[in-house]
Chains A and B, each alone.
Chain A
């Protein structure tokens, strides 16, 4: 099993450009999450999903959109990238929303110039 896979791993964008990060998991997990990690700020929850076709806002949802059209995939979109969105993005999944171990992807480093 590959676990949680994120694509791409690195990306450089110009301000105003759009892009989509793809997260795929092969563990049949119900729940999927997008976090961003910034120095000194820890892991902050952007959006999450409690099942196929559902999405919910986390702590820092502004400027991002998500979709969960298939159970195994969770997409994070930036419609108009800003320098403040320069970060490392982690996708995670688990089988229990509130009490289960999170399995993280390797991370995607995004730089917005």
Chain B
């Protein structure tokens, strides 16, 4: 089955800096890669996703890149703000029966002002 590795587990940046979180996946059949943000004590919420036919996607200060050959994808946050502090999860989903979305272990991002 699918296995998703996420790095780093913790990341501390200064306000205004960029943050990058990287994930690798094992199943070459995976074709959907979302990112979820979970604020302290809250539920995870989707912030951006990318499909395998696209190499990059941007939404304001966040972007996701995908390298299917290397089986890795990354989340980029520019001009970080204190409210970006949260746990971020990447996930991968093979488009085949008998599987569902598999998450990485998460990255705790701390943005200090």
B-binding residues in A (CB < 8 A): 31, 33, 35, 40-45, 48, 56, 58-59, 90, 97-99, 101-102, 104-107
Q: Are B93 and A104 in contact (CB under 8 A)?
A: no
| A98 vs B101: C-alpha distance when bound (angstroms) | 7
A-binding residues in B (CB < 8 A): 1, 6, 9, 31-32, 34, 36, 42-46, 49, 51, 89, 93-96, 98-106
B6 to chain A, nearest CB (A): 7
| A40 vs B103: C-alpha distance when bound (angstroms) | 12
By a CB distance below 8 angstroms, the chain A residues around B34 are 101-102
Contact of A99 (CB < 8 Å), options: B93, B98, B105: B93
Q: Are B100 and A33 in contact (CB under 8 A)?
A: yes
| A58 vs B6: C-alpha distance when bound (angstroms) | 19
Q: Are B105 and A42 in contact (CB under 8 A)?
A: yes
Q: Are A102 and B89 in contact (CB under 8 A)?
A: no
| Listed A/B pairs (26) with beta-carbon separation below 8 Å | A31-B100, A33-B100, A40-B9, A42-B104, A42-B106, A44-B103, A45-B100, A45-B101, A45-B102, A45-B103, A48-B100, A58-B100, A59-B102, A90-B44, A98-B32, A98-B94, A98-B96, A98-B99, A98-B100, A99-B51, A101-B34, A102-B34, A102-B46, A102-B101, A104-B44, A105-B43
| A40 vs B87: C-alpha distance when bound (angstroms) | 11
A109 to chain B, nearest CB (A): 10
By a CB distance below 8 angstroms, the chain A residues around B32 are 98-99
B105 to chain A, nearest CB (A): 4
Query: Top 8 nearest A-B pairs by Cβ distance?
Result: A42-B105, A104-B43, A43-B103, A99-B32, A98-B93, A98-B95, A101-B46, A42-B106
B5 to chain A, nearest CB (A): 10
| A99 vs B46: C-alpha distance when bound (angstroms) | 12
| A40 vs B100: C-alpha distance when bound (angstroms) | 21
